[in-house]
Each structure stands twice: as C-alpha cells, then as structure tokens.
Amino acid sequence: MGGAANVAATINDVVDHAASDPRTRRSFEDVNLQRIKSSLAVLICELSGGGCKYTEDSMRDVHAGLRITQAEFYSLVQIYRDALVRHGIRLRERNELLALLAPMKRDIVEK
Ligand code: HEM
C-alpha cells in the first residue's frame, strides 16, 4: 500500500472528496472530517495487515441514522478507487482493499 504515509495521504484525499462531491457530501455537512480521517486510517491499516487495531465504534453504530443509500455507498467506493489510482496503488492492491470494504455495505446502508 505504499506505507503508512501513503495510506494517510490517500485517506485524506478520500474524505475531502467525499465531503465535497455532490453525490456524497450531504452526510458530511456537520461532521469533524479530521476525526473520520484518523479513525479511517487506523481501520484501513488494520484491514490491510499493517498491525493496527481499530477500537472505535462499529461501522453499524457510526453510520446509524445517516440514512446512507446504496447509491451513496457505491459513489464512495468510486471516490476511494479514484484516490487509490491517484496515489499510485496498483490494480491488484486496489481490488484487494475494495474487496475488504465491500462487505461493510450491509452495516452502512440503511434499507
Ligand atoms: C466501506 C465504506 C465505509 C467505511 C469503511 C467507513 C468508515 C468510517 C469511519 C472509520 C468513520 C469514523 C468513525 C469515528 O471515529 O467516529 C466513519 C464516519 C462517518 N462516515 Fe463512513 N465509512 C464508509 C462509508 C460511508 C459512506 C458511504 C458515507 C456517506 C456517503 C459515510 C459517511 C460517514 C459520516 C458522515 C461519518 C461521520 C459520522 C459522525 O461523526 O457522526 N461513510 N466512517
């Protein structure tokens, strides 16, 4: 994944884009983006085998009440994919990472 610094830079990019992209920004209006960036960095570090331990609330609890739709979820995945490309992560690693995030949909999207 290009090391911790690249993971952090990629995550900053994802969160900044998600908070300004018309497809996803409505959920981010009154939230502390810095907090999301640091939590997400730990979560991704753990998922990608970087030796971290994510100890914040579950994905279900964190996103409860935000009424995130499936379309918003897929838009965020697209934003993430684009950021990984910009940060030089290769196809194989991109797909591995996104495959780890995909199953979280059931905890994040509200039916
Ligand atoms: C696999 C996809 C996703 C992952 C891994 C993820 C991960 C996270 C993490 C780690 C946090 C911070 C938890 C904390 O410390 O408070 C968070 C918060 C948040 N996420 Fe996500 N998220 C995902 C999808 C989405 C989507 C699709 C949206 C909206 C389009 C979204 C909107 C938010 C918002 C608004 C917060 C802040 C909640 C608050 O502070 O009240 N997330 N997410």
User: Position 19: which residue type?
Assistant: A
Chain position carrying tokens 């409860």: 64
Give the number of other Cβ atoms within 10 Å of residue 25's Cβ: 13
Residue nearest to atom 9 of ligand 1 (CA): 40
What does pTM read for this prediction? 0.95
Which residues contact residue 11 at a Cβ distance below 8 angstroms, ignoring those fewer than 6 apart?
A: 37, 40, 41, 44
For residue 31, the ligand 1 atom closest to its alpha carbon is 40
Distance between CA 46 and CA 57 in Å, rounded? 15
Question: For residue range 57-102, what is the model confidence (pLDDT) as tens digits?
Answer: 999 999 999 999 999 999 999 999 999 999 999 999 999 999 999 9
User: Which domains are assigned to the chain?
Assistant: 3-108 (1.10.490.10)
Residue nearest to atom 18 of ligand 1 (CA): 36
